[in-house]
Amino acid sequence: MDVQQTIIDALKQAGINATAQRIAVGRYVLLEADHPTADEVKAAVDKVFPKISMATIYNTLHTLEKAGILRAVKLPHTGRVVYDRNMEPHYHMIDEESGTLTDLEAQRVKLQHELDKEYDIHEVEIFFRGVRKTDQ
Amino acid sequence: MDVQQTIIDALKQAGINATAQRIAVGRYVLLEADHPTADEVKAAVDKVFPKISMATIYNTLHTLEKAGILRAVKLPHTGRVVYDRNMEPHYHMIDEESGTLTDLEAQRVKLQHELDKEYDIHEVEIFFRGVRKTDQ
DNA sequence: TTTAATGCAAAGCGTTTGCACTGCT
DNA sequence: AGCAGTGCAAACGCTTTGCATTAAA
């Protein structure tokens, strides 16, 4: 099955009408990209689908979010939004040197607290910030 | 010792020239406020010091940040910046009902991971999101 | 034909900037 | 006079909006 069809199926499964623009955006953010900003999505999609408008980029990203197959992450250092196709529980490492954002599977971090006594906790967001050690 | 003098001393200690505007802003963000936005700082300071400009608000907040006596926190749900006078290591709880931000002392949350093997970690930011349980 | 999706341009919001003005020293 | 601090207004970057146009069912 080709990539195009994979995306069309994914969109349909999510209840999203698979238009050409949505397929192009979906293909990039759901299969190819790694935490892109909206700009980067536009730049990438433009190559394949010139003249797509920023409004459609945002519309589509919001549609994917609402459908539960994409997540917007607001970065605390820049304040910018990046899009994350990893829908599993996970945290983020921000490499201060490169600016790169890396996913950390939830099981790599153990959290202990007694906040449940006071709160119904719906989500825990963690950003680690640091630099990758030089391998030696 | 009165409040005014406390702030003047705090500013001087931080190497900041204690102008009238800075005292007004400092008094609010360092003593009175609880995670205010820049707007809220302006609104509060305006009562005491009408016609202060947004530029001066931001200038002063940045000056306090650079002096290490105030911290800017970018909220992941709204993307807005709030100012935090708590300079001890701590995390944040966002009450989804009220929008309130509460500090959580670092020792209330135990974090275990082996990321230090790969990274020099400079900071860990945690946002808990949930609602306060109804006392029963 | 009537509904959904798109594209454009304008507006919005919070923040930053440039620059002239003020007021201490 | 010199200089840090201030205020205004314009610019900024990203995102959202309104609305007319197009494509699709």
Is strand C less than 7 A from the beta carbon of A18? no
What residues of chain A have any CB closer than 8 angstroms to a CB in chain B? 73-77, 79, 81, 93, 95-96, 104, 108-115, 117-133
Q: Using alpha carbons, list the distances in angstroms from residue B80 to A32, A79, A83, A119.
A: 30, 8, 18, 23
What confidence tier does A71 reach under pLDDT thresholds 50, 70, 90?
Answer: very high
For the stretch B78-81, contacts whose Cβ atoms lie closer than 8 Å and that sit 24 or more positions apart, written own/partner, are B79/A74, B79/A79, B79/A81, B80/B37, B81/A79, B81/B37, B81/B38
Q: Given an 8 Å threshold on Cβ–Cβ distance, is A109 in contact with B110?
A: no
Per-residue pLDDT tens over the stretch A88-100: 999 999 999 888 9
What confidence tier does A67 reach under pLDDT thresholds 50, 70, 90?
Answer: very high
Q: What is the pLDDT of residue B51?
A: 87
Chain B residues touching residue A82 (CB < 8 angstroms): none
Query: How buried is A60 (Cβ within 10 angstroms: 0-12 exposed, 13-18 middle, 19+ buried)?
Result: buried
Determine the distance in angstroms separating the CA of A49 from the nearest CA of chain B, rounded to an integer. Answer: 30
Contact between A132 and A97 under an 8 Å Cβ cutoff? The reply is: yes
Domain check: are A37 and A96 in the same one? no
Q: Using alpha carbons, list the distances in angstroms from residue A1 to A5, A24, A49.
A: 7, 17, 22
Residue B48 has pLDDT above 80, yes or no: yes
In this structure, is residue B79 part of a structural domain? Answer: no
As a whole-number percent, the residues of chain B with pLDDT over 70 amount to 98
Q: How far is the CA of A59 from the C1' of D21 (A)?
A: 17
With the C-alpha atoms ordered B19, B21, B25, B28, is the resulting torsion angle positive or negative?
Answer: positive
Q: Would you list the DSSP string of B23-53?
A: HHHHHIIIII-SS-BHHHHHHHHHHHSTT--
Domain check: are A92 and A36 in the same one? no
Q: Given an 8 Å threshold on Cβ–Cβ distance, is A128 in contact with B108?
A: no
Determine the distance in angstroms separating the CA of A135 from the nearest CA of chain B, rounded to an integer. Answer: 8
For residues B106-120, average pLDDT: 97
What confidence tier does A66 reach under pLDDT thresholds 50, 70, 90?
Answer: very high
Domain check: are A48 and A108 in the same one? no
Q: Given an 8 Å threshold on Cβ–Cβ distance, is B130 in contact with A122?
A: yes
Contact between B70 and B64 under an 8 Å Cβ cutoff? The reply is: yes
Q: What is the mean pLDDT of chain A?
A: 95
Domain check: are B57 and B96 in the same one? no
Nearest by CB to A108, which of B113, B123, B130? B113
Task: For residues A46 and A82, give the distance between their C-alpha atoms in angstroms, rounded to a whole number.
Answer: 18
Chain A residues touching residue B131 (CB < 8 angstroms): 119-120, 122
Is strand D less than 7 A from the beta carbon of A21? no
Q: What is the pLDDT of residue B136?
A: 61
Domain check: are A96 and A69 in the same one? no
Contact between A36 and A28 under an 8 Å Cβ cutoff? The reply is: yes
In this structure, is residue B136 part of a structural domain? Answer: no
Is strand D less than 7 A from the beta carbon of A132? no
Structural domain containing residue A42:
3-74
Q: Domain end: B48, B74, B100, which one?
A: B74
Angle (CA) B92-B93-B95 rounded to 5° is 145
As a whole-number percent, the residues of chain A with pLDDT over 70 amount to 98
Of A120, A132, A136, which to mutate for an interface test with B (greatest number of B Cβ within 10 Å)? A120
Q: What is the CATH number of the domain that holds B35?
A: 1.10.10.10
Task: For residues B72 and B67, give the distance between their C-alpha atoms in angstroms, rounded to a whole number.
Answer: 12
In this structure, is residue B53 part of a structural domain? Answer: yes
Contact between B46 and B56 under an 8 Å Cβ cutoff? The reply is: no
Q: What is the mean pLDDT of chain B?
A: 95
Q: What is the pLDDT of residue A105?
A: 97
Domain check: are A49 and A103 in the same one? no
Domain count, chain B: 2
Q: How far is the CA of A58 from the C1' of D20 (A)?
A: 19
